[in-house]
Amino acid sequence: MSFHKLIAGPNVLVLPGVYDGVSARLAAQAGFTALYMTGFGAVASALGAPDVGIATYTEMVERVRCIAGSVSVPVIADGDTGYGGILNVDRTLHGYCAAGAAGIQLEDQEFPKKCGHMSGRRVIPADEAARKIAVAAAARESRDFLIIARTDARTTHGLDEALRRAELYLKAGADVLFIESPESVEELQRIGRAFAGVPLLANMVEGGRTPRLSAVELAGLGFKIGLYPVTGLLAAAAALRAAFVELNRTKGGSVTETPLLQFADMTAVMGFAEAVALETAANS
């Protein structure tokens, strides 16, 4: 099912953040109908670096290909600023489409960008950002490909400017609006009222600038998508830290205090049985 059909349905869409093939498989197997490739998580897991604009288009499109190719559900991928100007945005759209993404998120930050819940983010002129969205809308190969327009103007320019920009991006061809980092439930309510009937995305980051609400609560405020981009990454990082600390403490002894997936369960997650069956059938 396409993202357009998912967001046209009666229910709010819960979108989990995934960052590699394992997290994507686990999220899909948990029953999510769509996934979101988090830039924060992709950069952290692939480069071991912070999300401060150092990942290149080439690195990110390869991560899109990996994640989209590992699951059968649609994947929205973080496209940062489009990795440059108008021509870069056009290339990014074609590349993400070819890599298997079902949609892209583009933001209006200056390059190099920063994580959306950091301070010090700066945005490009609104008309320049709107042209990027228009180019993206024209470059997509199908209307089924979703374009999420994100503005980071709230933190440095206030909510009024963020709302103004969102309106421009909607007129430029965005399918979903994403106003990053509102700082209260009242601001979320105002966004919902300003764009009644327009698909809206709310970014729910543990420890971030925006109050963390459930998808049901967000739906009551007028939002269609509740994005939880780093929940899985934070859980995985906590488990890895605990397991490695214990493994080091015990000098290679059994790790008993940290929950572990059984090896047989992990092979099932990754599809070993299907791979063996395919090989056996081909050789018989």
Q: For residue 53, what pLDDT is reported?
A: 86
Residue range 115-128: mean pLDDT, rounded = 84
Give the tens place of pLDDT for each residue, 84-119: 999 999 999 999 999 999 999 999 998 888 775 767
Q: Do both 60 and 136 map to the same domain?
A: yes
Among residues 189, 212, 231, the one where a domain terminates is: 231
Q: Do both 28 and 157 map to the same domain?
A: yes
Q: Do both 260 and 212 map to the same domain?
A: no
Contact of 78 with 146, CB cutoff 8 Å: no
Among residues 214, 231, 248, the one where a domain terminates is: 231
Q: Do both 136 and 268 map to the same domain?
A: no
Q: Do both 16 and 150 map to the same domain?
A: yes
Q: Over 70: is that where the pLDDT of 1 sits?
A: no
Among residues 190, 215, 231, the one where a domain terminates is: 231
User: Closest Cα partner for 227 from 184, 177, 161?
Assistant: 177
Lowest mean pLDDT: which of 28-37, 113-122, 208-217, 260-269? 113-122
Q: Do both 210 and 250 map to the same domain?
A: no
Q: Do both 224 and 242 map to the same domain?
A: no
Q: Do both 38 and 140 map to the same domain?
A: yes
Domain count, the chain: 2
Q: How far, in Å, are 59, 63, 108 from residue 45 at the CA level? A: 12, 10, 24
Q: For residue 116, what pLDDT is reported?
A: 57
Q: How far apart are CA 36 and CA 38, in angstroms?
A: 6
Q: Do both 194 and 88 map to the same domain?
A: yes
Give the tens place of pLDDT for each residue, 184-221: 999 999 999 999 999 999 999 999 899 999 999 999 99
pTM of the model: 0.93
Q: Residue 33: which CATH number? A: 3.20.20.60
Q: Over 60: is that where the pLDDT of 233 sits?
A: yes
Q: For residue 9, what pLDDT is reported?
A: 82
Q: Do both 54 and 128 map to the same domain?
A: yes
Q: Do both 149 and 218 map to the same domain?
A: yes
Q: Do both 126 and 246 map to the same domain?
A: no
Domain that holds residue 253: 237-283
Give the tens place of pLDDT for each residue, 171-188: 999 999 999 999 999 999
Contact of 269 with 29, CB cutoff 8 Å: yes
